[in-house]
Chains A and B, each alone.
Chain A
Amino acid sequence: MACSLGGCNGLKRKFENIEVALPFFLFSALVIIPLLLALDRLIYVSGKMPWQVFSSLDEHYLSQDAIGFTFLQALLSTALTLAIGIPIAWQLGRYHWPRIRLMRALLTLPFVTPAIVAAMGFMAILGSDGFDLRGERSTYLVSLLFAHAWFNIALVIRFVDPVISNLDPRMEEQLRLLPAGNSRWGRLRCFWIPLMFPSILCAAVLTFVFSFTSFAMVRWMTPSNATLETVMADVGGAAGIENYQIYSNELVLASSTIQFLVLILALWLLSALQAKRSRTIAEVSESHSRKKGRTGWLVLIPALLFCLSPLMAVIRSSLRVAERGPVISHRWTLEGWQSAISGDYAYISIIDALQNSLGYAILTLVISLPLGWSLSSGIHLLEKRGSYWAKPLDILTMLPLAISGVMLGLGILLGIIRISTVFFTMWWMPAIPHIMLSTPFVVRLLLPAMRRQDPELIENAQVLAMNRWQILTKIRMPLLRGPLIVAGIIAIAMSMGEFGASWILVRTGAWDTLPVLVDQLMTRPGFDPLVKPTAMAAASLLMLTTLILFLVAERFRPDGDGGMF
């Protein structure tokens, strides 16, 4: 039946509204409902509201200094990350380097390296079979800061490098003609700092967020200090049970509330900064703007060594076994790999654990990629319409970044207790936090790409009477092939490396993922010298799988991509 033009437009708009609302509803349900149920359970069992339990953190030995240490290490980690990352980003963005794509990939690889592998790598470098610096407890905080810097310099590179590399060189030339541009300091003060500042702050905020919620690295590298995240992990298992260890509920409630408030504030700041950052000046292709580097190798070679050495150390440790006796010595062997493959030291072998990890990663991909696409399309559509809903929904998609892995795991665990414990037996349960954590990354990769798409292409397709499905499959998806592939691979990598939530939610031994297996092996008594090399072999396999995925993703990353990852 024919309809009037206005009627059809109204119907189309309604359909579009539903199309926008549905993924947001699904995403909100996935993220918010378990957390609300968990909050309700904690309040019910503890009999207190969140603001009534803050003091409990100071009343317990295990959480006494957690707030102070969490802030201290996060702030120092952020400062160190910027100190190391900015010179690297400057060199990469400003000068011409051979094999720059590979170099960029290697320097940003740490960000997708599973944190537990990174922790093992740093301990191997600093340990008795390395530089032997772990003997002093005073070195722990410093080593954690370097590990966090190692993990997060990719953020500085990803945010700052494109701002410099895509800058039209004529701007700098023109500046040199002005009085303020005469001196190097003048150019830095009046041009480079204002130009890079929003991007540096964006990287700083995200580094703070990831350091604040860091779990595996803190758990392994500063075992004597608790953060809010490790407190929740330590006592969370006993939370949610009536008339039983009530203090656990109070500690989880206090830690998660403080963490949530701090992270929401950080993400609000990030959103405001990104808006400022998007008001960019004229850009050109990066190949036009580069100069020949001279002394930059003095920065880049140590940077590459810094990025790759923990990964090499993990592989080396998997091939070394301690010779017990009065003299400390190690020998080279493949026994660690053999026992990891045969599963001698665990309920499942590394091959089974890899299959599990890949299984969860595929499930994550299958859900988070279409969900992330729908969310990005929705935001983009609202932005085009000038809707005031665009910004809040954009922030909503970042919400899981404000909820750490342990918080998510506990939220789902306690939420399950409220709904039905039968869900404990559902093997797909551990995939939920993977989906929640990877979807924001998918949105962050797809949304900027959608914004860059020429709207005339879609309009032309509509003029050619292409339907929505044809526009999607023949125009939009082929044009976004690169970002889609990158987003898919990053989603897989995020799922493969996820540890905090899996550590809480993986219940059945047969579901063990590679990061969980590494942790299990590392925590079992190591009287038998083969236990540690076995754990390192599992960590190596996890790392190599992630490395391959990331290098593949880099091939499809668009030039000058200034996204988060």
Chain B
Amino acid sequence: MNSKVVLVTLIAFLASISGCLTGAIDDKGMMIDERGVEVPTERVLTIVTYDIYGLTSERIMEFTNQTGIKVEMIKLGDAGAILNHLLQTKEAPQADLALGLDNTYLQQAIDRNVIQSHGANISNVMESAWLPYNGTMAVPFDQGSICLNYDTNSINSSQGRDVPTSLWNLSEEAWKGKVAIPSPVTSSPGRAFMIATTDYFANDDDETTNWTDWWSAMVDNDVIITSGWTEAYETHYSGGYGVWNDDHIGDANFVVSYCHSPGVEAYWADNYTISTSLTLDRASFHQVEYATVVNGTANAEYADLFIEYLLTEDVNLNMPIENSMYSVLIDSGLPADNGYLYHSELPSLNAQVSPEEIAENMDSWLAAWEAAMV
């Protein structure tokens, strides 16, 4: 829009409501001009996404230069907002491709028929990225595990602050008010961590308590619940880059983030970080983010081309730097520069919860979580 908005605001406004700017489009996708002659239309791919940091205007231009397809972006808050948008516009879809639905939302999108099978030629995605879902409705484009991170400076055995060996340790007096978690109602990482706790406590030795008991115990221990990841990590976490920010409090020694967040910290701070991850078995959630073709789009072909572009080595191998996430390409890994790889721990066993289970139980889990917290 830009300068066009400034210059032709009124003209375009009047023209758009009178319909005189647009001609009819025939079934071949060609526009019929006033003389009835077919002229090629501008090829436009509309992507609905959240703020995926790797998709800079430079990357988008590169795709346009390669394919001649112009890209328009509908930018929303997070994965949940993408699903909301797809549901709200189901009758008249506004986008051709959705980027950023993860495996906590994917099944709902499938069940509610807002996405369709893709036709992209994919052969270079590693096996682990297909683990949560391996059908034709979604293509993984990045991944990472969500788990607790902690400030290593806060560990002090003489004060009873040992590295936790169970999530129950965090409900003890030593960590009172020292854990920050984004709300599962309003945050995707928060939702993923809540899902992990359902599996963690379903598989622990204690048969007398369940996951909601842990959340209630955390409320009693003054857990800090935030509306989003940014506030939990930047404002409350004492071990992250937030200490350089104006809005930093630093009252939490533990925070829910990605298990490789300490690696990202180190990469941007010349191999310096005091943060590390707590990779207890089943207390982490393997998150995969997907590219999905919007159901009913007339531009599925363009969407497929973009998916293939997203999975080229040039774009996808840069995910760790440009999007702070793991690549999904076979044999890819994290860069060793500045301690990125060294400080990024991989959990040995993530929570084992399928997208079907998530879709089936999410509403009741959220209701149970609310009941445990209020």
Q: Which residues of chain A have a CB within 8 Å of any CB of chain B?
A: 58-62, 64, 123-124, 126-130, 134-137, 220, 223-224, 226, 230, 234-235, 237-238, 240-241, 244-245, 317, 322, 324-326, 328, 330, 343-349, 352, 355-356, 358-360, 362-363, 366, 417, 420-422, 424-428, 507-512, 520, 523-529, 532
CB-nearest residue of chain A to B177? A137
Which residue from B88, B249, B374 sits with its C-beta under 8 Å from A59?
B374
| Contact segment of B5-13, B276-284, B296-304 | B5-13
A-B interface, 4 closest residue pairs, ranked by CB to CB distance from nearest = A127-B246, A359-B5, A324-B269, A322-B244
CA gap between A322 and B152 in the complex, in Å: 22
Kindly state whether residue B247 has any CB partner on chain A within 8 Å: yes
Judging by beta carbons under 8 Å apart, are A244 and B245 in contact? no
Is the CB–CB distance between A347 and B55 below 8 Å?
Answer: yes
Please name 16 further chain A to chain B contacts, defined as beta carbons within 8 Å, in addition to the given A241-B88, A347-B75, sorted by A numbering: A59-B374, A62-B183, A123-B246, A127-B248, A324-B244, A325-B270, A328-B243, A359-B9, A417-B88, A421-B94, A424-B94, A426-B16, A507-B85, A524-B51, A525-B233, A527-B264
Of B163-171, B201-209, B219-227, the one contacting chain A is B219-227
Chain A residues with Cβ under 8 A from B235's Cβ? 223
A135 close to B270 (CB less than 8 A): no
Q: Which residues of B contact A (CB under 8 A)?
A: 1-3, 5-6, 9-10, 12-13, 16, 51, 53, 55-57, 60, 72-77, 80-81, 84-85, 87-89, 91-92, 94, 183, 185-186, 224-231, 233-235, 241-251, 264-265, 267-270, 272, 324, 363, 369-370, 373-374
CA distance A317 to B246 in the complex (A): 9
Cα of A318 to Cα of B244 in the assembled complex, Å = 14
Which B residues lie within 8 Å of A424 (CB)? 89, 94
- Chain A residue contacts of B269, Cβ below 8 A: 324-325
CA distance A181 to B365 in the complex (A): 71
**Within 8 Å CB of B225, what residues of A?**
61
Q: Knowing A223-B227, A355-B6, A421-B94 touch, does A524 contact B53 (C-beta < 8 A)?
A: yes
* B241–A526 touching, CB < 8 Å: yes
CA distance A501 to B247 in the complex (A): 24
Partner of B231, one of A61, A223, A325: A223
Q: How many whole Å from B326's CB to the nearest CB in chain A?
A: 15
What residues of B have a CB within 8 angstroms of the CB of A244 in the complex?
A: 87
Q: Report the nearest B residue to A135, measured CB to CB.
A: B249
Q: Is the CB of B270 within 8 A of A324?
A: yes
Out of A58, A61, A223, A511, name the residue touching B373 (CB < 8 Å): A61
Partner of B81, one of A58, A237, A241, A322: A237
Shortest CB–CB separation between residue B127 and chain A, in angstroms? 28
Once the chains bind, are B227 and A234 in contact (CB under 8 Å)?
yes
Q: Known contacts A60-B374, A61-B225, A223-B235; is A420 also within 8 Å of B74 by CB?
A: no
In Å, the complex CA distance between A467 and B56 comes to 58
**Shortest distance between the CB of B338 and any CB in chain A (Å):** 10
Chain A residues near B51: list those with CB within 8 A. 520, 523-524
User: A224 CA to B228 CA in the complex, in Å?
Assistant: 11
CB of B264 to closest CB in A, whole Å: 5
Known pairs A220-B247, A347-B56; A528 contacts B268 (CB<8 A): yes
- CB <8 Å contact, A238 and B1: no
Q: Which A residues lie within 8 Å of B92 (CB)?
A: 420-422
* Distance of A523 Cα from B187 Cα, bound (Å): 13
Cβ–Cβ contact A356 & B88, under 8 A: no
Q: A359 contacts which of B1, B16, B94, B248 (Cβ < 8 Å)?
A: B1
Q: Are B186 and A352 in contact (CB-based, < 8 A)?
A: no
Q: Which residues of B contact A230 (CB under 8 A)?
A: 227
A536 → chain B, closest Cβ, in Å?
Answer: 9
In whole angstroms, what is the CA distance A343 to B73 when docked?
A: 15
**Which chain B residues lie closer than 8 Å to A356 at the CB level?**
1-2, 5
Contacts of A363 in B (CB 8 A): 5, 9-10, 13
Q: Which residues of B contact A124 (CB under 8 A)?
A: 246
Contacts of A135 in B (CB 8 A): 248-250
Q: How far is the CA of A231 from the CA of B109 in the complex (A)?
A: 25
Within 8 Å CB of B264, what residues of A?
Answer: 525, 527
- Distance in Å: Cβ of A255 to nearest Cβ of chain B: 15
Q: Across the interface, which residues of B come within 8 angstroms of A529, CB to CB? A: 241, 244, 268
Q: Is the CB of A532 within 8 A of B245?
A: yes
Query: What is the minimal beta-carbon distance from A313 to any residue of chain B, in angstroms?
Result: 9
B249 A343 Cβ-Cβ under 8 A: no
